[in-house]
């Protein structure tokens, strides 16, 4: 019976060690999306974020609420590192306890955990000594894996923050052109009023590269999706929503200008939204356009007054709704899941109780206002 119990201890400990090392490999080293069923950190993130996001609406002050949501991702990174180290100590401790006859003096389970921790962290006080082959090789492997986890964990932190900063540069610069929160209508309106309508192609080209970068980095390192912008009313979800809406308006409503970059931006943006919504199991089924014809007509009037050559609502609305319904549902599900600040046509617009205003460069320190009607649908509140 004792021999069977020791085999169980060794197998159980090895399972924990393998689970932690696989999680580290898939989370940090493997530069692509992986199956989340075998990642412990994915389950930890999903459970803890669900609790975190449910608590957020109970915080009345908007600034404090954003601060609360903004602390989640850095805290989760710290939790990952602690979980990996603690998991390895527990796993190696169970194995050492199963091999306790190869250690002198013979340790208790608690002392086996202590020896596993000192081996993993390469401290080695010498109060417990492996005297047999299996325990000696295991101590060496524990030290090597501990050093490796700390090294790749440190590199992981640098990679995450570098990717975050790269993402946020475009979010902030688009805010100066499309408002904060970003709006596709405001983006086109700004360029038209400054007589730069033809230069909007450059924004679509930059946006296409940015969307591809965000898609790749957020699939490879999913924790990035939980990092919030450090600037009020801005978010990466709102930014891709503004780019998609701007390109869709440009393709269906604006007349007489080249459409190539807008079409490529729209395709890349929808690819990004669908891939991320699918990976985070938020749902990718097409739904409604998310706005009604009245909101579309308000946008058309704003662009016409800004000086853009636009088509009539009758000619453009049906095609606009057809394109927008391919991305509106997953985009709003992403906005709901990550609790982004509500934007003109993205997110939970029921939170907007006054005419929607965005800060733009059009009026200096003033605002350019566009009225936001109550949304037709705000997306799923939680993933399926």
Asked if residue 195 and residue 54 are part of one domain, the reply reads: no
In a domain, 279, yes or no: yes
Mean pLDDT for each 10-residue chunk of the chain (384 residues)?
84 94 88 76 92 91 90 93 94 93 91 93 84 89 91 90 94 90 93 90 96 94 92 90 96 91 96 94 83 93 93 90 94 93 78 48 47 40 39
Whether residue 161 is contained in a domain is answered as: no
Q: How many domains does the chain have?
A: 2
Whole-number pLDDT of residue 332: 93
In a domain, 384, yes or no: no
pLDDT at res. 183: 93
- C-beta of residue 369 within 8 angstroms of C-beta of residue 357: yes
Q: Are residues 191 and 93 in the same domain?
A: no
Q: How far is CA 43 from the centre of its chain?
A: 15
Pair 201, 96 in one domain: no
Structural domain that includes position 33: 2-154
207 and 259 assigned to the same domain: yes
The region, left, alpha or beta by phi > 0 then psi within -120 to 50, assigned to residue 40 is alpha
Both 270 and 334 in one domain: the answer is: yes
Query: CA dist 232 to 67, 198, 293, Å?
Result: 10, 30, 30
Decide if 164 is inside a domain. no
Specify whether 209 is located in the same domain as 83.
Answer: no
Q: What residues contact 127, with CB distance under 8 A and at least 6 apart?
A: none
Number of other CB atoms surrounding residue 318 within 10 Å: 12
Tell me: do 330 and 199 sit in the same domain: yes
80 & 26 share domain:
yes
List, in sequence order, every beta strand (DSSP E) within the chain.
103-104, 129-130, 357-359, 367-369
Query: Are 78 and 38 in a shared domain?
Result: yes
Same domain (yes/no): 226, 357: yes
Looking up tokens 């100066």 gives: 176
Please give the full DSSP string across 320-384, using - where no structure is assigned. HHHHHTTTHHHHHHHHHHTTPPP-SSSS-GGG--S--EEE-GGGTTSEEE---PPPS----SS--
CA distance 64 to 42: 27
**322 domain-assigned:** yes
In this structure, is the dihedral angle defined by the CA atoms of residues 303, 307, 312 and 315, taken in order, positive or negative?
Answer: negative
Instruction: Write down the residue that tokens 């000696």 correspond to.
Output: 136
Are both 79 and 150 inside the same structural domain?
yes
Q: Which residues of 122-159 are buried (b: 16+ CB within 10 A; e: fewer)?
A: eeeeeebebeeeebeebbeebbebbeebbebbeebbeb
Q: For residue 258, is it within any domain?
A: yes
Instruction: Give the per-residue pLDDT at 359.
Output: 55
**How many Cα atoms sit within 13 Å of 330 on the Cβ side?**
23
143 and 19 both lie in a single domain? yes
Give the C-alpha separation, 255 to 267, whole Å: 20
What SS3 class is residue 104? strand
Residue 274 lies in a domain: yes
Q: Is residue 160 part of a domain?
A: no
């Amino acid at each position: 019976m004792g021999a069977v119990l020791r085999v169980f201890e060794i197998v159980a400990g090895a399972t924990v060690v393998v689970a932690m090392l696989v999680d580290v490999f898939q989370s940090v080293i493997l530069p692509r999306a992986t199956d989340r069923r075998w990642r412990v950190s994915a389950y930890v993130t999903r459970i803890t974020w669900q609790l975190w996001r449910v608590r957020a609406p109970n915080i009345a002050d908007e600034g404090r609420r954003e601060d609360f949501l903004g602390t989640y991702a850095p805290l989760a990174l710290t939790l990952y590192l602690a979980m990996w180290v603690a998991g390895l100590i527990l796993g190696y401790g169970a194995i050492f306890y199963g091999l306790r006859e190869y250690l002198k003096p013979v340790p208790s389970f608690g002392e086996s955990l202590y020896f596993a921790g000192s081996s993993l962290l390469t401290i080695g006080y010498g109060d417990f000594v492996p005297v047999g082959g299996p325990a000696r090789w295991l101590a060496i492997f524990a030290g090597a894996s501990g050093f490796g986890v700390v090294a790749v964990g440190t590199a992981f932190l640098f990679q995450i923050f570098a990717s975050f900063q790269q993402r946020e540069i475009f979010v902030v610069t688009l805010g100066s052109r499309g408002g904060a929160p970003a709006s596709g209508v405001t983006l086109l309106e700004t360029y038209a009023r400054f007589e730069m309508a033809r230069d909007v192609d450059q924004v679509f080209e930059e946006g296409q590269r940015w969307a591809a970068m965000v898609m790749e980095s957020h699939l490879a390192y999913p924790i990035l999706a939980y990092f919030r912008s450090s600037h009020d009313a801005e978010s990466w979800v709102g930014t891709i929503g503004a780019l998609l809406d701007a390109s869709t308006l440009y393709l269906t409503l604006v007349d007489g200008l080249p459409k190539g970059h807008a079409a490529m931006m729209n395709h890349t943006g929808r690819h990004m939204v669908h891939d991320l919504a699918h990976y985070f199991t938020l749902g990718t089924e097409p739904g409604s356009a998310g706005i009604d014809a009245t909101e579309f007509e308000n946008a058309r009037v704003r662009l016409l007054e800004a000086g853009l050559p636009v088509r009539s609502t009758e000619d453009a609305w049906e095609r606009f709704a057809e394109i927008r319904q391919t991305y509106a549902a997953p985009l709003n599900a992403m906005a709901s899941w990550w609790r982004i600040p509500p934007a003109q046509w993205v997110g939970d617009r029921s939170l907007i109780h006054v005419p929607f205003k965005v800060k733009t460069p059009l009026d200096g320190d003033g605002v350019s206002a566009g009225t936001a009607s109550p949304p037709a649908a705000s997306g799923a509140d939680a993933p399926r």
